Amino acid sequence: METINTVPENYVTAIKLIDEAHAQDPRSIEGKNGPLPFELDYAQKMTRWLALRCPEASPVLQLACRAQHFRRFVLTFRHVFQSLSLVFDAIAINIQTCTCRLSGGRFLAAATP
């Protein structure tokens, strides 16, 4: 089994809290001992990966590695798409406003049935 530098107690607490958040992932993967929340499994794999490649990793690096996908399951594609849609709508409105100003209002008159 790979080993990694031990971390101070406050980092141990932070890792436990991160794992508790990862454990809320509704998706699961089949683990050795039954189903495991997907993001918790991923975080544990990342810690093992770090132990293999950098056993002397600092506590900050270990924490960053463990939290890399912190609550990623909360941001679904639908949420991201809706946010982008709002941005694109705002851009389109700004373009129309600028075009209307530049055309002296003729653009708005032409676009209105």
Give yes or no for residue 88 having a pLDDT over 80.
Answer: no
CB 15 within 8 A of CB 61: no
Phi, psi of 76 (to 5 degrees): -80, 165
Give yes or no for residue 44 having a pLDDT over 70.
Answer: yes
pTM: 0.60
Residues 2-16 pLDDT 10s: 566 788 888 889 889
Which carries the bigger pLDDT value, residue 17 or residue 113? 17
Amino acid at 22: H
Average pLDDT over residues 27-37: 88
Q: Please classify residue 34 by burial: count the beta carbons closer than 10 Å to its beta carbon, then call 0-12 exposed, 13-18 middle and 19+ buried.
A: exposed
Residues 47-64 pLDDT 10s: 999 899 888 888 888 888
Interhelix angle 38-53/59-66, nearest 10 degrees: 150
pLDDT at 1 (0 to 100): 43
Q: How far apart are the first and last CA of the chain?
A: 72
Instruction: Give the strand pairing for 34-37 and 28-31.
Output: antiparallel
Low-confidence winner among 36-40, 68-72, 104-108 (lowest mean pLDDT): 104-108
Give yes or no for residue 25 having a pLDDT over 70.
Answer: yes
